[in-house]
Amino acid sequence: VEYSYTSPEGCNKTITKPVQIADKPIITFVGLDNQYCTDITAFNLQATPSGGTFKVNGSPATQFNPSALSTGTYVIEYTYIDPADATCFNSATKSIEVKKAPVLVWQNVDNKYCIDNNTTINPSVSIVYNSGATEVQTPDTLSFNPSTKGVGNFTLSHTVTD
């Protein structure tokens, strides 16, 4: 920056001052989805550059815990102040929707079978969707016969997207 002055007597004087103008920090949320279901446990909030502060709906936070929240929209705010220049800061917000997770219940399957049980087991899954609608699914991929499966521990898995 430069300033020149001419006095009423006609004397000129110029003064200069170097000034640096820094760009605002660019904030990026890390690993934060747009929606979560109520069966997701707490996780740490992360953003770059690191070292800033988070708020969830205006309250200070370091974690987001969908399993402890009601359904609805939550605003995550991150503010970063450059430690080298406190006048250079930025903040960003992201809206996150928390939705109720569907309820799944196994049917027609026990926790334990004897190896000599030569019956095909056809488990099903009872599903209660967020809308309140219910459905029973019996996927062929879950069927098994204990006598041919062999001795051991096995995990049955079924995924539902609501």
Alpha helices in the chain (DSSP H): 146-149
Report CA-CA distances (Å) from 83 to 23, 52, 80.
14, 10, 9
Give yes or no for residue 142 having a pLDDT over 90: no
27 — pLDDT class (breaks 50, 70, 90): very high
Pairing type for strands 103-107 and 134-137 reads unpaired
Residue 44, both tokens: 């740490």
DSSP-based three-state secondary structure for 140: helix
Average pLDDT over residues 137-151: 84
162 — pLDDT class (breaks 50, 70, 90): low
Give yes or no for residue 20 having a pLDDT over 90: no
Measured from the Cβ of residue 106, the count of other Cβ atoms closer than 10 Å reads 14
For the ranges 8-17, 41-50, 132-141, 142-151, the maximum mean pLDDT occurs at 41-50
Average pLDDT over residues 121-127: 87
- 139 Cβ neighbours under 8 A, 6+ residues apart: 125, 158
pLDDT digits (tens, 9 = 90+) for 56-98: 999 999 999 999 999 999 999 999 999 888 888 999 999 999 9
pLDDT greater at residue 81 or residue 21: 81
Give yes or no for residue 18 having a pLDDT over 80: yes
Report CA-CA distances (Å) from 122 to 57, 117, 125, 143.
46, 14, 10, 5
Q: What is the pLDDT of residue 21?
A: 83
Helices and strands: H and E segment counts in the chain: 1, 14
Q: How many CA atoms lie within 13 A of 76 on its CB side?
A: 26
Mean pLDDT of the chain: 91
